[in-house]
Amino acid sequence: MPATSPPLSFFLPPLICGTATFNSQYNPDPYALPTTGIVHRALSSGVRAFDTSPYYGPAEELLGQALDTSFVHDNFPRRDYYLLTKVGRVGGAEFDYSPAWVRTSIQRSLKRLKTDYLDVVYCHDVEFVTPEEVLTAVTELRRIRDENGAVKYVGISGYPVAVLCELAEMILERTGEPLDIVMSYANYTLQNTRLSSVALPRLKAAGVDVVPNASVLAMGLLRRGGVPVGSLGDWHPSPNELRSAVDTASRYCDGLGDRIEKVAIRWALGTWLKEGATLGSNVKPGNDTVVEGTGESRQGISVIGVSNLKELDETLQVWRSILDGLEDSEHNTSETNKQSPERAWSLQRQKEVRDRAVVVKELIGSWLDYAWPSPGPDFANKRSLHLPFPAPLPTPAVSPKQMAVHTLGDDGVGTSSRI
C-alpha cells in the first residue's frame, strides 16, 4: 500500500506539548499539577498538538478533562488541534501488543480523551517486544484506521534508534506501506544526537514521513538539580558517571549566570528545527492556527513537557525567540522586524547558547552519544501470555491533595525570566 494521504507532515505542527510530566514518574502528585491551566495556556499560545499515553498514569484523563471544557469547546474546535497517544505499554514491565488489547486500549483512550478519533497512535516503546509483535500491532492499528477512522495515522516510538530504524524498514518490506511517524526521546540533546546522525537517513529511506524529537532534557538528566525523582523514586536509567559529567557541565553554566537546562532547551529546539527538517512539519512555525503545509519547506518537530505554567511560559518564550532568529521566519519579513530589539536579543542569545553548548559537550566528554541499554539485561515482560483477554488497568484514584481540577489562571502564573 502507498503512504497515507494526505501526509501527516502537512498538518502536524512543529511544536507538540507532551504530557509525560502529568505522571508520578516526574511529579509526586500529578493531580496537584495545574494541568487544565497548562493545556488552556498552550492552546491560547498557539500550541495545537498534545502527546500522551495510557502508560503515563492519569495523563490521558487529565488531558481529556482539560479539553472537555467550555473554554476549549468555544474557542478551539476538535479539528483545530491534534491528539497523539500510544498503545502496547501497560506498565513498567508489562507490554501487550495483541490485537485484542490494541482495540481495548484505543477505546479506552477515546473515552479518556473525550474524542471520536485519534490523530496519531504509536506502538509504545517497541524495543521491549519482538518485531512480530510490533508488526501485529501496527497491522491492527491500520485495520482500525481503515474500518472506522478512529485512528488517522500510525507509528512507533522508543529509545534505541537502531531498533526504530530496523522496525521501520521491516514494516515497509513486509507490508509495502511505510510508517507515518517514528518518535524517539532523549536522542537529540546536548548529550546525544544519534537521532540525527544515525536514524534520519535510514528512516527517510524507509519512507517515514515525520520524526519528532522528544525529551530535549534527556528525561530530566540535563538539569541543574539532577534527574527528577517522583513518587516512584530514582527511576532514571543514566549511570552515575554520566550524571557526574552533566553536573560538571551544569556548574560551568552556573558560573556564567546561566542554567544548563536553559542552554539545553534552546540548543535542541533551535537546532532540531533545521536538523530534523527532512522529516519535519510543513506547517509554518509561529502560526496561531494550524495551516496545511505547502510541501516546499519543513521544520523539525519537537515535543516539550512541562509541569507548571511558569515552565510553559518560559519554554514558549524560548520558542518565540528561536523563531525571531530564523532568517525566513514570517516574524522577520519586514525591515522593521529584522531590526527589532527582540530579534537582536534572539540572535545574540543564539550565539551565546551555541558557544556554551560547545563547552558543555566538551565537559560531557566521552559520554557524548552514549545511549543507556533499553531494555536492561534483566527485563522480562510480566504481562501474562496465558490470559485469554488482558484485564484493564486500574484507574488511579483522585489525589486527596488535589480534589479540584485547576483552571487557567491558577497558581503558577508569573513573569518569567528570559532563557
A 10 A CB-CB count for 222 gives 28
Q: Which residue is associated with the grid cell 484485564?
A: 391
> What is the grid cell recorded at 301?
518537530
Q: What is the pLDDT of residues 64-122, one digit of tens each?
A: 999 999 999 999 999 999 999 999 999 999 999 999 999 999 999 999 999 999 999 99
Cα 26-31-33 angle, rounded to 5 deg: 65
Where residue 233 falls (left for φ over 0; alpha for ψ -120 to 50; beta otherwise) is: left
Report the half-sphere exposure of 13 (CA within 13 A, side-chain side): 25
Q: How far is CA 244 from CA 45, 187, 227, 402, in A?
A: 37, 19, 11, 36
Helices (H) and strands (E) in the chain, counts: 13, 10
CA-CA distances (angstroms) from residue 333 to 176, 269, 283, 285?
43, 22, 17, 14
- What does the block give as the cell for 197? 546522525
CA 302 to CA 211: how far, in whole Å? Answer: 9
Pairwise CA distance, residues 307 & 34, whole Å = 8
Cell of 186: 532523549
Pairing between strand 94-95 and 89-91? antiparallel
Structure-block grid coordinates of residue 294? 505547502
Instruction: Please provide the DSSP assignment of 305-356 as one string.
Output: E-SSHHHHHHHHHHHHHHHHT-TT-GGGSSHHHHT-HHHHHHHHHHHHHHHH
Marked catalytic residue, from 26, 56, 82, 188: 56
Q: Rounded distance, CA 258 to CA 318, Å? A: 14
Q: Residues 256-314: pLDDT tens digits? A: 999 999 999 999 999 999 999 999 999 987 654 444 554 458 999 999 999 999 999 99
The three-class DSSP label of residue 181 is: strand
Tens of each residue's pLDDT in the chain, 419 residues:
667 789 999 999 999 999 999 998 888 899 999 999 999 999 999 999 999 999 999 999 999 999 999 999 999 999 999 999 999 999 999 999 999 999 999 999 999 999 999 999 999 999 999 999 999 999 999 999 999 999 999 999 999 999 999 999 999 999 999 999 999 999 999 999 999 999 999 999 999 999 999 999 999 999 999 998 877 789 899 999 999 999 999 999 999 999 999 999 999 999 999 999 999 999 987 654 444 554 458 999 999 999 999 999 999 999 999 998 876 554 444 554 666 888 899 999 999 999 999 999 999 999 999 999 999 999 999 986 544 444 444 434 334 343 333 333 333 333 344 56
Burial class (CB in 10 A: 0-12, 13-18, 19+), 253: buried
Classify 159 as helix, strand or coil.
coil
DSSP 296: S
Grid coordinates in use for 211?
Answer: 520524526
Yes or no: say if 219 and 178 are a contact pair by the CB < 8 Å rule: no
User: What are the beta bridge partners of residue 82?
Assistant: 49
- pTM here? 0.88
- The 8-class DSSP code of residue 16 comes to E
To the query of whether residue 81 is one of the catalytic residues in this protein, the response is no
CA nearest to 400, candidates 31, 61, 5, 6: 31
* Kind and range of the H or E run holding 119: strand 118-123
3-state secondary structure of 151: strand
Q: Which long-range contacts (CB under 8 A, 24 or more apart) does 380-385 make?
A: 380/93, 381/93, 381/94, 381/95, 381/128, 381/129, 382/91, 382/93, 382/94, 383/90, 383/91, 383/94, 383/95, 383/96
